[in-house]
Amino acid sequence: MSTDNNVGIAKCGCKGVRSCLFCEHLKGNGPISENAATVVHHFRYDPLLGLAVRELEDGSPVSFPFPGVFLRENFISEKEEEELIKNVDQDVWNKSQSGRQKQDFGPKVNFKKHKVRLGVFCGLPAASRPLVERMLTEPVLEGFQPVEQCNLDYRPQRGSAIDPHLDDSWLWGERLVTINMLSDTTLTMSIETGLVELGQGEVGLAEAEEVLVAVHLPRRSLVVLFGEARHKWKHAILRKDIDARRVCSTFRELSAEFLPGGKQSELGAQLLDIALTFQGTTKSSRHS
């Protein structure tokens, strides 16, 4: 376990262009990541309407359809959250980039070389079994079989964030499922302006290089990204949107290549058999 009451107690895990408050303090040249406090969201996601909405300066509303986001508030109870956090904090947190800490439950993967090894992978953690069973009651998650779980710890003292990115689609499948714990936060969805049809929403965005949509994630909620939100829009957590400790658990399923009928279906079956034993510990798997 690690201590985080003060920045700089332990070295960070940042590499390349990634940074956190600790390494920025050492280098003395300020933030080098994109997570600046000046980032402004153009739209906010309305989960009831399924629209990205905004108001113009004259107060008139504009919007456009924003498919591929499902949000379930209060997916877990306060008591469940307390128990889940107690469990993860009894396990080992490993340093990650941009001020995050992580716990990986999954196979050993080299995404650049498209290689997967079982290694010592022994499954998802036992505490996740009832969560996965509950996920399956949501129509959007019918047939969901997670093969990997990644827990991430964000803290304002470290300047935690995650840069805009698209998750791998060679190994990981259609749905990305995240449970948000300990604090509310904002998921920032972004896309180049020319790659999305905004309709009325184009008003006032002629000079913008990207369109940014804020998806509010309440504490103890579940969010699913699929379709365009999964494959077309990048997602991020900005530093400015972490004002208290946040822990999230993200679950990923296999792509078609690893499912029955796919080129690597045999390996996929092995991975699922192991994952769904729910016997995993953080010492059992690491990404390369």
Higher-pLDDT residue of 96 and 5 is: 96
- Within a 10 A sphere around the Cβ of 193, how many other Cβ atoms? 15
Average pLDDT over residues 33-60: 82
Identity at 109, one-letter amino acid code: V
Q: What percent of the chain has pLDDT over 70?
A: 88
What is the structure's pLDDT at 196? 83
What is the structure's pLDDT at 285? 44
What is the structure's pLDDT at 284? 44
5 falls within a domain: no
Higher-pLDDT residue of 99 and 23 is: 99
Q: Which DSSP string corresponds to 91-141? A: S--EE-STT-EEEEES-EEETTTTEEE-TT---S-GGGHHHHHHHTTSGGG
204 falls within a domain: yes
Average pLDDT over residues 242-251: 97
What is the structure's pLDDT at 276? 97
CATH number, domain with residue 35: 2.60.120.590
Residue 90 has pLDDT above 50, yes or no: yes
Task: Say what the pTM is.
Answer: 0.90
30 falls within a domain: yes
14 falls within a domain: no
117 falls within a domain: yes
**Using an 8 Å Cβ cutoff, are 232 and 165 in contact?**
no
181 falls within a domain: yes
What is the structure's pLDDT at 30? 59
What is the structure's pLDDT at 287? 42
3 falls within a domain: no
Domain boundaries, position 192: 21-284
What is the structure's pLDDT at 240? 94
Residue 286 has pLDDT above 50, yes or no: no
Q: How many domains does the chain have?
A: 1
What is the structure's pLDDT at 1? 42
90 falls within a domain: yes
